[in-house]
Structure 1
Amino acid sequence: MKINIEGNKIIGIFLRRVNRFIAEVNINNQLEIAHVANTGRMKELLTTGAKVILREINEPHRKTKYDLLMVYKEDILVSIDSKLPNSLLQRAFIEKAVPYFEDFNHVKREVTFGNSKFDFSLSNEKESALIEAKCVTLVKENKIASFPDAPTERGRRHILELIEAKKQGFRAAVFFIVQRADSRLFTPNEEMDKAFAEAVALAKTEGVEFYGYSCDVTIDSIALKERLKIIF
């Protein structure tokens, strides 16, 4: 399952992050600013001197001419675009390429349940499912991917709302999409956010489903690679 990443790509050097949305980069020895397509911390990736992939944007209303899409961690290309997991999963659900979800015929984006908005609802004649997708960029030692890389009360709330959805008769699932190829396992990042990890553990006992996938990433495409074992 692959989607293309469109646009004119440019190689640059990461200099510093100004705020959650803006970074300074060096492109052909010129200082430029770029939009960061992910509000996570990514401190292990966005380090001074890191090689990055940017997309040139020629739109008059934009404050920045570039989107920061990817970063090299040594020889591993990591996609940081937080929108791509949703695009990947939407294509996969529509084309019935996700095991255990082939029976759903209707796919809808951004659905409100309780006090949260979820990425997908799936439905068929017999049942409905609520799906949340999480963008993962952090891989620790021993090729263990982990989420989150910063405390996330919003993420914890999503998990608890999925427990309630399950109690009301929905199927409920979370997909952790690791946007790099070097992960072999996934685990919630208890060191960073114990409350989130505890919510995941509770949701698991209540029947919420959890899936992790690594990705093959190139400058021009991203594809689901393999399902990861999850350590709760």
Structure 2
Amino acid sequence: MNYTPALRPATLIKRYKRFLADVVTPEGTEMTLHCANTGAMTGCATPGDRVWYSTSDSLTRKYPHSWELTETQQGDWIGVNTLRANTLVREALEAQRIPELSGYTSLRAEVKYGDEKSRIDFLLQADSRVNCYIEVKSVTLLEQGRGFFPDAVTERGQKHLRELTKIAEQGARAVLFFAVLHSGIEDVAPARHIDVRYAELLAQAQQSGVEVLCYKAQLSPTGIDLKKAISVTS
């Protein structure tokens, strides 16, 4: 996924009200960015970090600039716009670059499913194959050299695990896909210390046949791309 037009740099002053961040440009201009990440963003939003932002040409947006990447003072790159995770995964699926999920002929997004009235991120279908339901999660939390998900208690994420478990039990293919958007993460584990219920549901889901895939992205101001599979540990 390429950034068009190119991203521009600024220095983070602060993030606040979840959806907003104040920054200062290299020219000394202060402005407010929209932040699409509703999570805790632990380690991703330290004042003084370099941030990279995109600009929309929409005339109706109150905040035309969107926070895309963080370049931390430790040298890590982080994709903080969680909306990009689905775009990355879709591109990889369409290009058949995820071997575990290749060979399907139909891809649909945001399909309604489940007893709890959810929408699956992607539904893959093909003749003579069972349906494949894929839920995508963006991973950006790095602690003590390991990546963790989630970075805050997530009732929505818990619901998705329950739905995937039921899908697997019914005989379809159910996949939880971790898109790692942090250059410092080399393996991922459930954040039991943050959301113990999520960790419990993930273990139950895997026992019921839910597959867990994890791919790491390469990030830069010119674009981001899923590059390699990394391990998920319990």
What is the TM-score with the length of structure 1 in the denominator? 0.94
Deviation at 1:191, TM superposition (A): 0.8
8 Å CA contact 2:44–2:80 kept in 1: the answer is no
8 Å CA contact 2:13–2:48 kept in 1: the answer is yes
Instruction: Tell me, yes or no, if structure 1 residue 26 matches structure 2 residue 20.
Output: no
* In 2, Cα distance between equivalents of 1:89 and 1:11: 25
Opposite residue 22 of structure 1, the aligned amino acid is: L
Q: Is the alpha carbon distance of 1:101 and 1:43 closer, same or farther for their aligned partners in structure 2, counting shifts above 3 Å? A: closer
8 Å CA contact 1:33–1:65 kept in 2: the answer is no
Deviation at 1:227, TM superposition (A): 0.9
* In 1, Cα distance between equivalents of 2:93 and 2:216: 17
Opposite residue 232 of structure 2, the aligned amino acid is: I
> Identity across aligned pairs (percent)?
28
Q: What corresponds to 1:47 in structure 2?
A: 46
Residue by residue over 1:8-57, the C-alpha shift from the partner in whole angstroms, topping out at 9 and shown as x without a partner, is: 42211111122111111112322211101211111312011111011123
Opposite residue 62 of structure 2, the aligned amino acid is: K
CA RMSD in angstroms comes to 1.2
Deviation at 1:97, TM superposition (A): 1.4
Number of corresponding residues: 229
Instruction: Tell me, yes or no, if structure 1 residue 171 matches structure 2 residue 173.
Output: yes
8 Å CA contact 2:54–2:66 kept in 1: the answer is yes
Q: Which moved more, 1:4-13 or 1:205-214?
A: 4-13
Aligned residue for 1:20, secondary structure, equals coil
8 Å CA contact 1:77–1:180 kept in 2: the answer is yes
Query: More strand by proportion, 1 or 2?
Result: 1
* In 2, Cα distance between equivalents of 1:60 and 1:100: 42
8 Å CA contact 2:6–2:221 kept in 1: the answer is no
Aligned residue for 1:104, secondary structure, equals coil
Aligned residue for 2:230, secondary structure, equals strand
* In 2, Cα distance between equivalents of 1:13 and 1:54: 10
Opposite residue 32 of structure 1, the aligned amino acid is: M
Which of 126, 144, 157 is the matching residue for 1:141? 144
Q: Any residues of structure 2 matched to 1:115-194 within 5 Å, and which?
A: 115-126=117-128, 127-142=130-145, 144-194=146-196
* In 1, Cα distance between equivalents of 2:151 and 2:43: 10
Instruction: Tell me, yes or no, if structure 1 residue 17 matches structure 2 residue 20.
Output: no
What is the TM-score with the length of structure 2 in the denominator? 0.94
* In 1, Cα distance between equivalents of 2:103 and 2:4: 31
Deviation at 1:116, TM superposition (A): 1.1
Instruction: Tell me, yes or no, if structure 1 residue 105 matches structure 2 residue 105.
Output: yes
Q: Unpaired segments of 5 or more residues in structure 1? A: none
Opposite residue 134 of structure 1, the aligned amino acid is: K
Q: What corresponds to 2:95 in structure 1?
A: 95
* In 2, Cα distance between equivalents of 1:218 and 1:193: 31
Q: What corresponds to 1:69 in structure 2?
A: 68
8 Å CA contact 2:139–2:181 kept in 1: the answer is yes
* In 2, Cα distance between equivalents of 1:65 and 1:103: 39
* In 1, Cα distance between equivalents of 2:219 and 2:21: 22
Q: Which moved more, 1:6-15 or 1:164-173?
A: 6-15
Residue by residue over 1:149-171, the C-alpha shift from the partner in whole angstroms, topping out at 9 and shown as x without a partner, is: 11100001000100111122210
Q: Is the alpha carbon distance of 1:225 and 1:182 closer, same or farther for their aligned partners in structure 2, counting shifts above 3 Å? A: farther
Q: What corresponds to 1:7 in structure 2?
A: 5
* In 2, Cα distance between equivalents of 1:214 and 1:100: 15
Q: Is the alpha carbon distance of 1:78 and 1:202 closer, same or farther for their aligned partners in structure 2, counting shifts above 3 Å? A: same
Deviation at 1:195, TM superposition (A): 0.6
Deviation at 1:6, TM superposition (A): 1.8
